[in-house]
Each structure stands twice: as structure tokens, then as C-alpha cells.
Structure 1
Amino acid sequence: MKESKYYIAAGYEQMDIHTMEQFPSKQFYQRLRGGFLKVSWRKLVCNNLGLPKWIFMLRLVAHGKLYTRDKLSKWGVICNVMCPLCDKESESHSCLFFLCEMSAQIWQRLLQWQGITRRPKDWDAEIRWLTNYAKGKIAKAELYRIVLAAAAYTIWKERNMRVFQDKKQQLDVMIKLVMQEMFFRGNLRTKVARWLTNFNFYPV
């Protein structure tokens, strides 16, 4: 029985497996996947030392996929669009990250804790700044990426607690918990653990 030949379509080319000395799996995968532009925030999410739930939330925030009240109102699900964190503006992605009064305070104090003094901006502006600042494998960049993920998770968790449970946490308590989590996660990597010795473990 004559042996059949197996071909793999790769773009516009066909590769005969029987005549190949090596199988270029990387090239084959890239051709099947196609070309896509890399998002600017990919390095903030990939290889982030934060908790998995933080990373998951950070990815949702980066994609703008959270069900904020402005979206729910457009779909006719709710009528109240006020931000549950500040009760002053319409809740939107930009408001929560990081323009509303409360989220801006959380982010600014976490920046100051790392020795960074500047006013918080909206999410897109923050990502542009973070992409330049938090690149590379140095300890302060790794810590910065962890703090960003923790801040996004903490803000959304507090928002949901206020909406669904009618409960509130004090600002100082939230920030303190985030900073303590930073030490726990950072100690998993030696260079980050050494860098964390410069920071206050139990701020008041």
C-alpha cells in the first residue's frame, strides 16, 4: 500500500513532513495565528508576581471589559449611574481607574509609598506612563507591576462590596492591606524582597 503524504498548510505554503529534517513549530504556529499588533500593557500583565486574581482583574481592566454602571445604563439594566466610591460622578472605566476621588487617593498613596510623587491620571495615560516606567526586570519595576494589579483588584472589590453588600472599608485600611500583601508577594522573589526593605511594612 502506497504511503500517503501529509501536508501542513502554513500561510500560502505547504510543508511535506516526510521531507523535513526539522519541524519549525514556532513558525508554523505564528502563521496559523496570523499577525497582530502587541498591546502596550502586555508586559504589565505577563510575568506579574501578583496573586492570580489580581492578574485576572488587571487583564479585564486593561481590556475595558468590566460592567461599570455607565455600560449597564446604556443596556437598560440600571438607572442609577453614580459612582459608588465617590457618589459625585457617573461611574465609568475612567472614573474607577483612577479619576474618581477615592480611587485617585488609593493610587496616589500607593505611588507615594514607592517614592513616586505625581498626580494620578486616567487609565490610558497611566498605562502609557507605566509602560515606560515599569519595563524591565529590575526590582522596582516588578514591584510597580504588582502594585498596579493589587490596586485594580482592590478598587473593583470595594466597588462591588458597596454595590452588592452595602458595606464600606476605610481608605487607610484598604491601603494598609495592599501594602502588607506587597511584602508577602514580593518576598517570593529575592531581588524584590531586598528592594522591599526600603519601604514601610505597616504604615499608619
Structure 2
Amino acid sequence: MSCLAQDMQDNNLKLSIESLHLQVNFLYDAGPTGGRRKPEASIKNNYVTLRPQYPQVEWKRLVQVKGMMPRHQFILWMTLQRKLSTVDRVLKVDANCVLCNTGHIENFDHLFYACRYSSCVWKTMLNWLGYHRQVGSWEYEVKWMISRVKNSRPRAAILGFCFAAIIYSIWIERNNRWFNAKKGSTTQRLKEIAIQVHIEGQRHINWKPHLDQLIGYPN
């Protein structure tokens, strides 16, 4: 056996022994009267101790709302982290918003919800759901949503579903205008979401009393 191979074998053996010692120390008391298993020792506790610890985010519950469509959930998750590929992030240049066509530069804060188009869509949906309030900045809306979906009540789930659907719809509309030269009205987008929430509601019996009160389409 070559010297290099022998050194590698010795090193692997050393790492294995160190790993074994680490596991033993986790499981057993290493004091003068060692040998007794620690009462809190378990595979689960060891895993929690060894794995990297990440900071908690306030919006965790917002992306876990029951009934949310996977594609809506993914775009919501991206949006909450401000990872959507807006023009200012991708091209590093200024370009006008294609949704409102008012000459405002497209960036994240404009898209959600300084834009007249996106603000109108979200406010109209809120009114349809029975929440009569003014639409604020993205941070303000997220904080408001977090406070509303803390419980697992049907009305909170419906609101969370619509919030994610609105964000997804705004992003799809933006992409259609940028890349396909297709325009959809706010009425059309809202009608699609209303249909989606009623279809999803058929899978959740406790949604029915609330959905029965939503007559017609948002307008």
C-alpha cells in the first residue's frame, strides 16, 4: 500500500472515531459517574442540535394557508422574498410598468401595490370578500395578511387563497404583456380568481357557508 493510500485510510479511521465519540457524548453522560444515558438524549434532539439554525420568518404561516394552489404558493413564496425577476433586477435598467402605463418605473414596490392596475385588482377582491379598506404598501399588506391568517378558520383560508391568487395573476398578466403582447382586464383576472376559489371550495366543506355569501364576480 502506498504512503498516500495509507494516510487516507488513517484519516478516514480518525474521522470515524471522532464521529463515534461525538455521538456517544450526545447520548451518554461523560462525567465522573459516566455511562448513564442522558434523559434528554434522542436521535431527534441530536439532529436538531447538529443541523444549521435558520431565522424564523413572520410570513411562514402565510404560505401554508390550507387550500392554496401550488403554483400560487410558489409565486407567493418568491414574492415574499422579493425574488421575482422584475426589470430593475434582471436588466438593471429603468423601464415603464406595462400594467398601468402611467410612466412609472417597474420595480417590486411599484408592482405591489403602488401600480394602479395591481392595486385595483387587490382592492376589488378585498371588497368582494367583505374587507373594505385602502390598499397600502407591500410591507403593510403582508403584515395585515399575517394578522388575518393566524387562525385556521375558513374565512382566513379563503382570504389567503385569494391573496396568493392575486399575486400570481398580477405576475402572469405582467409577463403576458411583456413577452406575448397580450392584455387582460382587471375584470377578467378577478373573474378567473373567483371561479378558482369556488372550485377549490368544493373540496372544503367548511368553506361553503362563506362562499355562498359571495354573489357574482368581483367588480
> C-alpha offsets along residues 60-79 of structure 1, whole Å, 9 cap, x if unaligned?
000100110111232xxxx5
The amino acid of 1:15's aligned partner reads L
**Normalised TM-score (structure 1):** 0.85
The verdict on how the C-alpha distance between 1:48 and 1:94 changes in structure 2, with shifts beyond 3 A counting, is farther
Deviates more, 1:163-172 or 1:43-52: 43-52
* Alignment partner of 1:154 out of 164, 169, 180: 169
CA RMSD of aligned residues (A): 2.5
Pairing 1:57–2:78 present: no
> Which position in structure 1 is the counterpart of 2:106?
91
The answer for unaligned runs of 5 or more in structure 1 is none
Contact 1:139-1:191 at 8 Å conserved across structures = yes
Task: State the aligned residue count.
Answer: 194
Q: Distance in 2 between matches of 1:190 and 1:32?
A: 42
**Normalised TM-score (structure 2):** 0.79
* Same amino acid, percent of matched pairs: 26
Larger Rg: 1 or 2? 2
Shift of 1:34: 3.5
Contact 1:69-1:82 at 8 Å conserved across structures = no
Q: Distance in 1 between matches of 2:71 and 2:127?
A: 24
Shift of 1:36: 2.9
* Alignment partner of 1:191 out of 206, 209, 212: 206
> C-alpha offsets along residues 136-168 of structure 1, whole Å, 9 cap, x if unaligned?
111111111101110110000000000000000
The answer for unaligned runs of 5 or more in structure 2 is 1-16, 29-34
Pairing 1:71–2:89 present: yes
> Which position in structure 1 is the counterpart of 2:62?
44
> Which position in structure 1 is the counterpart of 2:27?
15
Contact 2:65-2:161 at 8 Å conserved across structures = no
The amino acid of 1:49's aligned partner reads G
> C-alpha offsets along residues 7-50 of structure 1, whole Å, 9 cap, x if unaligned?
5559xx5336x968996343233222343331111101014312
Contact 1:186-1:196 at 8 Å conserved across structures = yes
Pairing 1:170–2:188 present: no
Q: Distance in 2 between matches of 1:140 and 1:7?
A: 53
The verdict on how the C-alpha distance between 1:127 and 1:166 changes in structure 2, with shifts beyond 3 A counting, is same
